Amino acid sequence: MSYASEYRIGFGAELDVSKLFVHVDDTENFDENSFAPVAERFNKYGVAVLVCKERPEPRVNSVALKQYFGNVILHDRADEDGIVPIDPTDPIPGYLGSTCADHPPHTDGAFSLEPEQVLTLQCIVATTDGGMTQLVSGDSAYDYMARKHPKLLPALFRPDAMSIQRTDIRCLRPIFNWVGGRVQMVYREDDVAATIIHPEATEAFSVLREFIIDPENIVEFRLQPNWIVVLDNLRLLHGRTAFPTSQARRMNRLNFDGTGPFGRYLSFGIIPTFSELAVAA
């Protein structure tokens, strides 16, 4: 049985977020049938939100995802389960996500030669003010560049289009990249990780950035305790709005390479909506 549909929907702020929700008792006992609603949303939108029931140890639901999505992507701040806690009460220099400030839409793993394919983010404690989860569709962003700015698009495929540096780590990479007949997207733009754009890609990056930060292209919602976002990290951008330092917001991040037994049900990457895009790239 396969749920790897080629049907894609790009979206903007108008998306009814409830369409992403999948209500589950727990994540420990998925089979083909119970996983189908997750795969259908993931393939269609690039993201599913698991609305899990409350349990004494919510991290169990996060850890259980290991049996479905493949190898855990290691991180220098991960605990013994591979989980990276995101907690502003313990800020880490060089990691914007560990602060209360705005965290602009981005993809994870921009410093890695092989960024993670599946990103999962579980809410442990939610804020009452600010701290809104943000999603930007890579399908919509790519389609916009291809339709409205086709002459600029090839510059974003340059292998050196973007140089990202954090402390002593530096990585050169394209923003868009063809992999297996699909387009993958890697994007980072904030004040903590220095991002340098190749001169020949500067105009294209500026146009793409304006699309990404336009409120009309951003879906916002409040992730509630026990909920888990599961998204295609190379198709969707995620971010978070600022929130008061007086309020707690705790998340557990656990990312995967997508090679697990349920990976065959998932359709990764951006599929261009018309054929001449391949020529442009």
**What is the residue-level pLDDT of the chain in tens, covering all 281 positions?**
455 555 789 999 999 999 999 999 999 999 999 999 999 999 999 999 999 999 989 999 999 999 999 999 887 776 888 899 888 877 776 677 778 899 999 999 887 777 899 999 999 999 999 999 999 999 999 999 999 999 999 999 999 999 987 667 778 999 999 998 899 999 988 655 567 899 999 999 999 999 999 999 999 999 999 999 999 999 999 999 999 999 999 999 999 999 999 999 999 999 987 544 444 44
Q: Is residue 30 included in any domain, yes or no?
A: yes
In sign, the C-alpha dihedral spanning 146, 150, 156, 159 is positive
Is residue 22 one of the residues assigned to a domain?
yes
Neighbouring C-beta atoms of residue 55, cutoff 10 Å: 12
**209 is a domain residue:** no
pLDDT of the residue at 189: 82
- What CATH number corresponds to the domain at position 272? 3.60.130.10
Domain containing 47: what range? 17-138+218-280
Q: Give backbone dihedrals phi and psi of 176, rounded to 5 degrees, phi first.
A: -115, 145
How far apart CA 160 and CA 211 sit, in angstroms, is 21
Query: Measuring CA to CA, which residue among 196, 204, 253 is closest to residue 229?
Result: 253
Strands 118-125 and 103-106: unpaired
Residue 194: its pLDDT value, please?
Answer: 64
Is residue 255 in some structural domain? yes
pLDDT of res. 203: 97
Total domain count, the chain: 1
- Considering the domain boundaries, does residue 11 fall inside one? no
Has residue 127 been placed in a domain?
A: yes
Sheet order of strands, 162-166 included = 169-173, 162-166, 194-197
Task: Report if residue 177 sits inside a domain.
Answer: no
Residues 94 and 211 sit within 8 Å (Cβ to Cβ): no
Predicted TM-score (pTM) of this structure: 0.92
In sequence order, the β-bridge partners of residue 137 are 236
Q: What is the pLDDT of residue 94?
A: 65
* Residue 7 is assigned to a structural domain of this protein: no
